[in-house]
Amino acid sequence: MIKFKGYIYAFFILSLCNSFTYEEKTYKFADVFKKDKEVHILTHGLNVWRLGELKVDLDKNIIFLDPKGCQILVFDQKGNFLCTIGRKGEGPGEFKFPISIEVDNKNNIFVSDLPLKRISKFSLDKGFINSFIISSTQNQAWGIKINSNGFIFLKGFIRKDYNHPEFGMWINKYNLEGRYITSFFPSNKYNKNWVQRIAPFCSFDIDGEDIIYAVQHCDYRISKYNSEGKLLTEFGKAPSYFRHPNIRKKIDFTRFSAQSEIINELKILSASWTKLIDIIVLKDEFLLLILEMNNLIKGFDKKYVIDIWDKKGNFIAGGIQTDYRLLCRDSDDFLYFLILKEEENLEKEPKYRIGKYTLLLN
């Protein structure tokens, strides 16, 4: 009898453990995403170099960032050109290399300029409004998000100990006047010295309750923070098609005679693991994780894979393969994908085809 009770107890423990796992089932793109329309953005005659980021404002205008061209172009939902924001330069309202854009809940457009370490604010009605220089302790501002109360969150590494450069924080909070408030989201175990040279390293998004969901590109784990930067919880289990970086890999940078050789070595190294390159909150319920596959896993021949979790930490769907680059969502939770072949991207003035999709999950 005692032995029988032992079997029951063991079965109960096994069942409990299984309740914290998930079935790793892959899904087809068409089973999860439904196309609403396709927008053709014509860049002929606009001196556009390349699409960097794309956002959609509250009026559903498409905000197109051209970093190398030092400009932001605005199109309507039919792809018609409306206006240009900014120009090359270092003065007010000008850019040296704009790297990231965001639209707040008042329809203002914020632009992060990488070399100037400056955040500029615009509106379609007033043009340039103001700007501020980010804290000198922050290396760069690779990305920008704004919560419902107008606080600005910048993606950029702040080292806490220069004797150990791999340790630091990734997310930095500022107010609208540019005053630095705090930093959070510490570097993980994979952030060794050579990883620090491969940008941009992390991604995050903010939900309707100002909760922040953050991921680091070399680790399959979702960190959940409140708006003050307090860690609430962490969750996520890496699927079999996610390959972690080899942290034992060593690079002797002294053996390279030119910076171009170092950059090429880092590119090769960067392609040796699967990257979690973005996270997007959708319908204030789902978390979309975008993986860059680098042709490392057998059976995964598309450039990207999308996994879907909910905000409670439950795995919903995964292994969704696509060659389309997910750019952003709009205020109605439509998703915008870049539909562009590699050979088209090499054209001087490519025609950007933007697919507008909705998520089929309830």
Q: For the domain that residue 176 is a member of, what is the CATH number? A: 2.120.10.30
What is residue 193's predicted lDDT score, i.e. its pLDDT?
Answer: 56
Q: Which helix (H) or strand (E) holds 15?
A: helix 2-18
By C-alpha distance, which of 165, 166, 167, 170 is closest to 154? 170
What is residue 46's predicted lDDT score, i.e. its pLDDT?
Answer: 87
Are 360 and 284 in contact by the 8 Å Cβ rule? The answer is no
Q: Which of the 8 DSSP states describes residue 341?
A: -
Any domain includes 52: yes
Any domain includes 16: no
Any domain includes 7: no
What is residue 10's predicted lDDT score, i.e. its pLDDT?
Answer: 38
Are 107 and 58 in contact by the 8 Å Cβ rule? The answer is yes
Any domain includes 340: yes
Q: Distance between CA atoms of 212 and 206, rounded to whole angstroms?
A: 5
In terms of residue numbers, what domain contains 318? 22-359
What is residue 5's predicted lDDT score, i.e. its pLDDT?
Answer: 42
Placement of tokens 């923070």 in the chain: 225
Any domain includes 17: no
Average pLDDT, the chain: 85
The alpha carbon dihedral of 296, 301, 302, 307 has a sign of: negative
> For the chain, what is the domain count?
1
Neighbours of 333 (CB within 10 A): 15
Placement of tokens 């450069």 in the chain: 165
Question: b/e per residue, 150-179, with b = 16+ CB within 10 A?
Answer: ebbbbbbbbbeeeeeebebbbbbbbebeee
Q: Residue 77 burial by CB count (10 A; 0-12/13-18/19+): exposed, middle or buried?
A: middle
For 224, list phi and psi in degrees, rounded to 5. Answer: -115, 125
Any domain includes 316: yes
Any domain includes 13: no
pLDDT below 50 — which residues of the chain? 1-21, 343
Are 44 and 66 in contact by the 8 Å Cβ rule? The answer is no
Q: Residue 257 burial by CB count (10 A; 0-12/13-18/19+): exposed, middle or buried?
A: exposed
Neighbours of 233 (CB within 10 A): 10
Any domain includes 80: yes
Q: Distance between CA atoms of 54 and 173, rounded to whole angstroms?
A: 23
**Which two structure tokens, joined as six digits, stand for 130?**
């103001």
For 169, list phi and psi in degrees, rounded to 5. Answer: -120, 150
Q: Distance between CA atoms of 312 and 310, rounded to whole angstroms?
A: 5
